[in-house]
Amino acid sequence: MSVEAVLFDLHGTIAHVEGEVTDYEASELLLSRGYEVYPQQLDASRRFVSFIDYPRYGYRSWETYLKRILGRLRVEVDEKTLRDLVDLYRKTHWKIYPEVEEALYEIKKVKLKTAIVTSIAKFKYKEDLKPIRRRIDLLVDSHTFRCEKSNPKIYMKTVEKLNVKPRQAVMIGDDVRLDVELPKKLGMKAILLDRRGTSISEGTFKPDFIVGNLTQAAEKIISGYL
């Protein structure tokens, strides 16, 4: 078997978000307390903090993360408003897809190394991944190597940490650019996960396979098709 490590995207691959809080909901709460913070402002600040500040500073909780988002907007809220805002976001949780535990079991049974590679901050999902955490050797977010997922460094540092070469690793994810084209440029293998059967793979770097779930991906890897 030429593959020695399997890397997974998080959102849409390992798990999906339930009860996600929108910028409109958060804005409504803030406006009701007298703070003029509107949805587009929140969206812009949240993106900046997610992709610029979090890789640098690595916030460990909703409280510090949300304080930074508001700080970027030059808004300082009272303690009760901050607590209520944190409670609002804590309602969000990550639900693991049904086939994931079995697929990971099969992959670890043949002693392959595993990692999750995502730009999403660990504190948002770490607790929800407890059922599968023992089968993930390395959990990489954008603070782990101080770069978000569009930066090739995140992949190179991940395979280095797993002690494998890029050609010995396969990335599985649902984003053509981030989960297929970028890893392929680095010499890795890539499987495009298309749960809805709607993806069209275009561009120079095509996936080695397109699958509908992680069970199919695990079968391809374990059977030696890569």
In a 3-state reduction of DSSP, which class is residue 95? Answer: strand
| Chain mean pLDDT for the chain | 96
- Residue 211 CA to residue 86 CA, distance in Å, equals 37
Whether residue 119 contacts residue 34, with contact meaning beta carbons closer than 8 Å, is answered with: no
User: What is the predicted pLDDT for the residue at 199?
Assistant: 64
Give the residue carrying structure tokens 């770097």.
205
Residue 129 is predicted with a pLDDT of 98
Tell me the residue length of the chain.
226
Domain ranges in the chain with CATH number 1.10.150 = 21-91
Cβ-count burial 60-93 (b if 16+ within 10 Å, e if not): eebbebbbbbbebbebebeeebbeebbebbeeee
- Provide the CATH topology of domain 5-17+94-222: Rossmann fold (3.40.50)
pLDDT tens digits for 115-169? 999 999 999 999 999 999 999 999 999 999 999 999 999 999 999 999 999 999 9
For the stretch 9-26, pLDDT in tens is 999 999 999 999 999 999
pTM (predicted TM-score):
0.94
- At 204, the pLDDT band (50, 70, 90 cuts) reads confident
163-189: burial string, b at 16+ Cβ within 10 Å, e else = ebebebbbbbbbbbebbbbbbbebebb
Cα–Cα distance, 114 to 6 (Å, whole number): 5
The Cα–Cα gap between 174 and 9 comes to 8
Residue ranges, CATH 3.40.50.1000, the chain: 5-17+94-222
The kind and range of the H/E element at 102 are: helix 100-109
| Model pLDDT for residues 27-71, shown as the tens digit of each residue | 999 999 999 999 999 999 999 999 999 999 999 999 999 999 999
CATH among 1.20.120, 3.30.1380, 1.10.150, 3.40.50 for 21-91: 1.10.150
- Beta 5-8 vs 169-173: how paired, if at all? parallel
Q: For residue 16, what are the β-bridge partners?
A: 95
Q: What pLDDT does residue 196 have? A: 86
